[in-house]
Amino acid sequence: MPYDSSLTVFSPEGHLIQVQYAHKAVARGTCAVGLASKHGIVLAVERKQTARLQDPRTNLKLFDIDEDLYATYSGLTADARQLIDKLRVEAQTHRLTYDQKPPVKIIAKQIANYMQQHTQSGGRRPFGVTLILAGKDENGYQIFTVDPSGVYCQFKGVAIGNQNPKIQEFLDKNYKEDMTIDELKKLGKDAVGQIVEDLEDGIDVRVWV
């Protein structure tokens, strides 16, 4: 039986094969790094090489979701744009309902539930995207990831996408909880620089304090 032909059929090993395919799409995407300390947050991404005549604004990977809430991704760009729109709707809905800034964890949980729904019914497929959601709320600066299966996790430093095990190992060795924002920025650039030769033209970095 072709176990990968149906989204809702488990393989004999207990896997949903199409979810694994979605993870492979993420692993082939450009690298992204998220870092947080008590001083601020940094997102650093591998800049995708585009055609010479293409407008670079169509390849943005760093997004404002709401006040003090930001996101980036690795994986399929078309899927990511759908999720970015969904994130913005969820953030605005929270504001209208509760008259307050949306907590980072709440928005991460909501988008995780939405992504998980696409792994359990026919006529859909998993999103081939892992998101990094970064922001500031009453709990301070926070970083969350949400993967294609709908699992969300909080990190102080995380890498997703191309060669992420290598970059994550670099972060684990060099991250310190009391890093200043300048140190976070340098660490983010150096981390992506593990796979990108041109640190100026090959990396985009944004800082929020």
Mean pLDDT for the stretch of residues 4-33: 86
User: Which pLDDT band, with edges at 50, 70 and 90, does 204 fall under?
Assistant: confident
User: Which pLDDT band, with edges at 50, 70 and 90, does 64 fall under?
Assistant: very high
Mean pLDDT for the stretch of residues 8-35: 89
The closest of 63, 35, 30, 64 to 47, measured between CA atoms, is 30
Q: What is the pLDDT of residue 5?
A: 65
CA–CA separation, 62 and 41 (whole Å): 13
- Is the predicted pLDDT of residue 203 greater than 90, yes or no? no
Paired residues of 185 in beta bridges: none
Provide the edge-to-edge strand list for the sheet that holds 69-75: 63-66, 69-75, 129-137, 140-146, 152-155
Structure tokens at 76: 């399929």
Phi, psi of 24 (to 5 degrees): -70, -35
Structure tokens at 45: 């991404």
- Is the predicted pLDDT of residue 1 greater than 60, yes or no? no
Contacts of residue 95, Cβ cutoff 8 Å, sequence gap at least 6 = 66, 101, 102
Q: What CATH number labels 3-45+60-194?
A: 3.60.20.10
User: Which pLDDT band, with edges at 50, 70 and 90, does 205 fall under?
Assistant: confident
CA–CA separation, 36 and 152 (whole Å): 16
CA–CA separation, 147 and 124 (whole Å): 16
CA–CA separation, 148 and 25 (whole Å): 10
49-53, 63-67, 89-93: segment of lowest average pLDDT: 49-53
Mean pLDDT for the stretch of residues 12-38: 92
User: Which pLDDT band, with edges at 50, 70 and 90, does 121 fall under?
Assistant: confident
How many Cα atoms within 13 Å fall on the side-chain side of residue 17?
A: 11
- Is the predicted pLDDT of residue 52 greater than 70, yes or no? no
User: Which pLDDT band, with edges at 50, 70 and 90, does 50 fall under?
Assistant: low
